[in-house]
């Protein structure tokens, strides 16, 4: 069975990704300011959550509750933690100049700028989700393995680009205003909970009870991840700024 091998590949990929990150942190610490421990922790949490999602429920086609848990893990929890881990910043620190420049030029390309605009990223993310549940794609997904994989990759990348653009996580070349990012996040949260209630009211499968349970998991689970996103968005503006320290020093020298 190819699904059996699929398990192995996922497991190997996860171990490699965690290992590479550790190597990157050790190498980076020799040259630059110490890499924050939090970020390493976020990376491990992010990789573990996506591994759990891929190892289990992809096999259980019929179970909508498991399907929803895995969607929360792939589309929201792991993108949030993986983007907070700043793997791209770590990569840039570890690469020689020429390759690092190539990557930054990709980040600065107009394509990347467009898809990391908060509003575009939100539409790609939540629009894809609405399309999945309001069209017949969900049934096709359960029949065709490759469609299943593509949908899940889209789900993850949509969540990842949405998170880095709304939280403006480095190394992102352009930073949208706080107001725009806050409104985008609120709209995303609203569209996510509306979709969950819509799903509750219009069950896709015959097993109405499990679809409704799944819809509630989407609603409340989404809420929890959303709060984490709001906290990290606002914390950026709360932590003491360098400018404030400069001002205090100036004031002290005046006295």
Partner 1 sequence: MTYIFYKYGKYEDEQYFSEVFRMNIDRLNFWSGLFWGLGFVAFLDEMVFHQLLHWHHFYDKSTTSIGLISDGLFHAFSWFATVASLFMVADLRRKNAWNKKRWISAALIGAGGFNLYDGIIQHKIFKIHQIRYNVEIIYYDIVWNGLAAIILMIGILLLKQSKVRTGEI
Is position 204 an interface residue for partner 1 (rule: CB under 8 A)?
Answer: no
CA distance 134 to 219: 17
Does residue 9 belong to the site contacting partner 1 (CB under 8 A)?
no
Span of 1-9, 135-143, 151-159, 168-176 interacting with partner 1 by CB under 8 A: 168-176
Alpha carbon distance 130, 222 (integer Å)? 15
Which residue in the set 10, 18, 157, 230 belongs to the binding site for partner 1 (CB under 8 A)?
Answer: 230
Asked if residue 237 binds partner 1 (CB under 8 A), the reply is yes
| Angstrom distance (rounded) from CA 127 to CA 133 | 10
Which of 8, 31, 34, 250: binder of partner 1 (CB under 8 A)? 31
Query: Judged by CB, which is closer to partner 1: 14, or 92?
Result: 92
Q: Is 76 in the site for partner 1 (CB under 8 A)?
A: no
For position 193 contacting partner 1 by CB under 8 A, the verdict is yes
Q: Are 162 and 169 in contact (CB under 8 A)?
A: no
> Which class for 130: exposed (0-12), middle (13-18), buried (19 or more C-beta within 10 A)?
middle
Smallest CA-to-CA distance from 91 within 50, 115, 82, 48 is with 82
Closer to partner 1 at the Cβ: 55 or 88? 88
Neighbours of 224 (CB within 10 A): 11
Instruction: Single out the segment in contact with partner 1 by CB under 8 A; choices: 5-13, 110-118, 127-135, 240-248.
Output: 240-248
26 touching partner 1, by CB under 8 A: no
Query: Could you tell me if 164 and 83 are in contact, meaning their C-beta atoms sit under 8 angstroms apart?
Result: yes
Binding mask 85-114 for partner 1 (x = CB under 8 A): ----x--xx-xxx--xx--x----------
Residues that contact partner 1, how many (by CB under 8 A): 49
The smaller minimum CB distance to partner 1, of residues 68 and 172, is found at: 172
Q: How far is the CB of 97 from partner 1 (least distance, A)?
A: 5
49/77 Cα distance (integer angstroms): 7
236 binds partner 1 (CB under 8 A): yes
Helices and strands in the chain, H and E counts: 13, 0
Q: What is the 3-class SS of 140-208, one letter each residue?
A: HHHHCHHHHHHHHHHHHHHHHHHHHHHCCCCCCCCCCCHHHHHHHHHHHHHHHHHHHHHHHHCCCCCCH
Residues making contact with partner 1 (CB under 8 A): 31-32, 89, 92-93, 95-97, 100-101, 104, 168, 170-173, 175, 178, 182, 185-191, 193-194, 197-198, 200-201, 216, 219, 223, 226-227, 230-231, 234-239, 241-244
């Amino acid at each position: 069975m190819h699904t059996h091998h699929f398990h192995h590949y996922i497991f190997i990929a996860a171990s490699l990704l965690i290992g590479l990150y550790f190597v990157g942190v050790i190498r980076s610490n020799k040259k630059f300011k110490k890499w924050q421990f939090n970020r390493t922790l976020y990376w491990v949490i992010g990789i573990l959550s996506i591994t759990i999602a891929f190892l289990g429920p992809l096999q259980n086609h019929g179970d909508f509750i498991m399907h929803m848990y895995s969607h929360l893990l792939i589309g929201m929890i792991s993108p949030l933690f993986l983007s907070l881990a700043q793997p791209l910043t770590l990569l840039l620190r570890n690469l020689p100049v020429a390759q690092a420049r190539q990557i930054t030029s990709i980040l600065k390309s107009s394509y990347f700028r467009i898809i990391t605009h908060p509003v575009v990223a939100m539409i790609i993310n939540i629009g894809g989700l609405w399309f999945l549940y309001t069209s017949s794609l969900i049934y096709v997904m359960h029949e065709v393995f490759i469609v299943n994989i593509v949908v899940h990759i889209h789900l993850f990348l949509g969540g990842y680009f949405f998170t880095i653009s709304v939280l403006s996580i480095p190394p992102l070349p352009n930073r949208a205003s706080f107001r725009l990012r806050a409104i985008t996040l609120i709209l995303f949260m609203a569209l996510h909970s509306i979709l969950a209630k819509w799903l509750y009211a219009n069950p896709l499968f015959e097993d109405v009870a499990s679809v409704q349970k799944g819809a509630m998991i989407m609603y409340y689970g989404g809420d929890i991840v959303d709060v984490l996103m709001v906290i990290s968005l606002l914390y950026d503006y709360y932590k003491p700024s360098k400018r404030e320290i400069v001002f205090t020093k100036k004031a002290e020298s005046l006295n």
